[in-house]
Each structure stands twice: as structure tokens, then as C-alpha cells.
Amino acid sequence: MLRGTAPAKINLGLNILRKRTDGFHDLNTVFHPIGWGDRISATVSETVSMTCTDSSLSCGDDNLVIQAAKCLQELTGVNQGAVIHLEKELPHGAGLGGGSSDAATTLQLLSQLWKLESSISLDSIALMLGSDVPFFLNKTTAYGEGRGELLTPLNDYRFPFSLAVIVHPIHISTALAFQQISPQETNQFNLIETVKSNDLERWSKELVNDFESPIFSQWPLLLETKALLLNCGAGYASMSGSGSAIYGVFESYKDAQMVIQEEAFRGCATWCETSIEDTSIF
């Protein structure tokens, strides 16, 4: 049996630039992996099948995990299958990339399990499954362009803050969110320079998620959650992806942990992680 972790991501800025002739949108963003994630295990079998700890999720062909397994199987001609088990921790429909991360981790696990040649490129297979799936193959902070698949790893970037993530039980369709966007190519800041500055005041001025305006107009609770994080000490707060996850960036882990505890008590899914440089927790 092989096991792997499928981490979530947050978007540090997300600009929707234009609609493309293929129906997708050009965008730019910085993807940043976080410690919250699902766990996946796989064992060899005659056919491809899946089990999941979340009974609300389908384990059929509409699940990206199954799609990833069958796509890899077909494109490589492998004559083995696998039983895949997904321990689901990440809320779905939250803009954290959980399904995409599950798919990427499945590709990597099955590539090892089936002893496929190292020369096989998983990137092209990942892109068939979703625009942000290639990012999760490397799981390192990266600048994304195009549909999000053109990646520039920011290997020297360090995220020195504590993080609080709050997810209300609101599932938002990415496709519907894109339909409400008015692309804007002008007045864009250099996301890489802004993110690397680690200046939270600058982040508040220059790191914008273009999905926030239309999504917040439909779900005012999400706007209230962003305001709550800022009022509780976050130096920067934003929605991740097309929502509904809202995250706050804190210089104090204790402040981040306090707001998370309150929101968890109210029934939200939450995550909190600290920077190793924050000595306030010791």
C-alpha cells in the first residue's frame, strides 16, 4: 500500500484578465500550498475503484480521483488497477483545490504503484483533469498564468506568517463564478513582486481576488467573515479561488488561533497553522 497527502492551496491574488476563444479564462495568481489536506492510499487491484470517508462524495466516474486513475491507466496502457481510499478532510466547493490536489496525488501514487517509467510526464495528464491540477504535482509556491497551468515556481519564497482559514458550509460552483466575472486586463500589479515583499500593507492594496465582488454580493456572510478576520488582527485577508474559503494572514499565531476557535464553535470548517518564526506560541 502506498500513501500520500493531498494539500490544499490558497490564492495570493487572483486576477481574471480575459475570456479565451476556447471558453477558458486567462488569469494570473500565486498558488501557495498549506498544511491542511486530504490523505490518499492505494493498493494494486484488477480494476480501478475508490472508497471515501465522506459519504456525500461520489466514488464514481465523476470523481476526479477516478478520472485521474483511469486516464493514467488508458494513456500508459497499464494492465493493472487499484483500490484507492480517500480520507476527506478538506471541504469541497471551497476554492482550496481539494479535488485537484486529490487528482494530482492519485497520479503520483499510481505512477509509483504501477511502476511506470519515470520518463512519463504527468503534467499533460494533470492538465486534462483541471487547470490547477499541474500545480499540485510539485506542491510549491508558484506563479500561475494562462488557465493557471503555466507555472513559475517561486522556490526562494518564504511565507513567514500564521494562517487562519474559515469555510462556511457554502458550496460555490467555479463555472458559475466565472460567468459573473468581468475580466480586466488593465491596472494590474506585479503579483510576484508584491507577494515576495511580504509587506501586508502592500498586500492589502495590491493583492485582489476578482471573484470577491460578485461572490460577496450573493453571500454577504463571506464579506462579514473577511471583515471579522481583519478586525481580529489579520494584516491581510482574502477569499481563496472562487470561494467559499476565507483566509486571514496574521503575524501572531495566538490571534489566528483565537478567531479559528470561535468560528469552529459556530459550525465552520477551520484550519490554523503557524510560521516557525512566530515565537509567541512558546
Tell me, yes or no, if 19 is annotated catalytic. Answer: no
CB 84 within 8 A of CB 122: no
58-to-74, 215, 232 alpha-carbon distances in Å:
21, 26, 38
Query: Which among 132, 139, 210, 255 is annotated as catalytic?
Result: 132
User: From CA 172, how far away is CA 186, in angstroms rounded?
Assistant: 27
In 3D, which of 148, 162, 34, 11 has the Cα closest to residue 90? Answer: 34
User: From CA 30, how far away is CA 152, in angstroms rounded?
Assistant: 9
40-to-65, 110, 229, 264, 270 alpha-carbon distances in Å:
10, 11, 32, 25, 21
Burial of 156 (0-12, 13-18, 19+ CB in 10 A): exposed
Tell me, yes or no, if 9 is annotated catalytic. Answer: yes
User: From CA 168, how far away is CA 160, in angstroms rounded?
Assistant: 26
The catalytic residue positions are 9, 132
